[in-house]
Amino acid sequence: MCDLACETLTAAAERDWQLPAAGLEWTCWETVEHMADDLFAYAAQLAPARPSTTTHVPIGWRRHREGGPALTIYADPAAGQAGLVQTLEACGAMLAVMVDAVPPDRRSFHTYGASDASGFAAMGVVEVLVHMHDVAAALDLSWNPPADLCAGALARLFPDVPTTAGDPWPTLLWATGRTTLPGLDVRASWRWDGTPR
C-alpha cells in the first residue's frame, strides 16, 4: 500500500505540493505528512508491552500553522518532496513491522475505541488510500488502489457499510465521506470501527 503511494507520489515530484488537497484545508504536502504521521502513531500505539487502552502514547505533537494538521512526524522541507516520500515510506514500514511483531491479543488506544494490530493495519491502509485520493485529485494523478486492499479495509473497519458488487474503491470513498454512491448521498459524518473481531 505504501509502496504504491510512494511510487505515485514520486512520479509527481516536480509538481506543486503546496496546492490544497482535494476536499481538505491542508496542502498536498501537509496531507502526505499527515499520512506518515498516522502510520507512525499507529505503530507507536502498538509498541509498548502493556499499552494503554484509554489514552495515546504520550508523544508530543503540534501544528505548523493554524488549520494545518496536528503532527508528531514532519519531513525536513530542505529534503524536498523526495524526502517527504521517504518519510512516508519509513513510517509505513514501521507500522508493517510492528503489526507483524506484536502478539495478536495486544490492544491499544484509538480515539474511536481500543483496537488490535489488524485494526491499526486497516486504519493505516484507509489513511493512505483515501488521503492519496485527496492528493492525487489535486495533483491530477491517477490513483486507483487494488480492490483487495479496499475490500479488506471495508470489511475490517466499516461493518455497517453496505457491500456492493464490483469495485470496492468507490464504496471506501463513500464510507469516508468523499463521494456519492447510487442512491446514497455523501456521508456528512462517519467513523470506522476498529474494535477487535
For residue 197, what pLDDT is reported?
83
More confident position, 183 or 35: 35
For residue 71, what pLDDT is reported?
97
Average pLDDT over the chain reads 95
Q: Tens of pLDDT along 82-102?
A: 999 999 999 999 999 999 999
The pLDDT of residue 48 is above 80: yes
- Can you give the residue ranges of every domain in the chain? 2-175
In the CATH hierarchy, which top-level class contains the domain 2-175? mainly alpha
pLDDT band at 75 (very low <50, low <70, confident <90, very high): very high
All three cell numbers of 144, joined, read 486507483
The pLDDT of residue 55 is above 90: yes
For residue 165, what pLDDT is reported?
61
Residue in 118, 122, 152, 126 with CA at minimum distance from that of residue 5 = 126
Q: Are 44 and 36 in contact (CB under 8 A)?
A: no
Mean pLDDT, to the nearest integer, of 9-33? 97
pLDDT band at 142 (very low <50, low <70, confident <90, very high): very high
For residue 115, what pLDDT is reported?
98
Mean pLDDT, to the nearest integer, of 154-174? 88
pTM of the model: 0.96
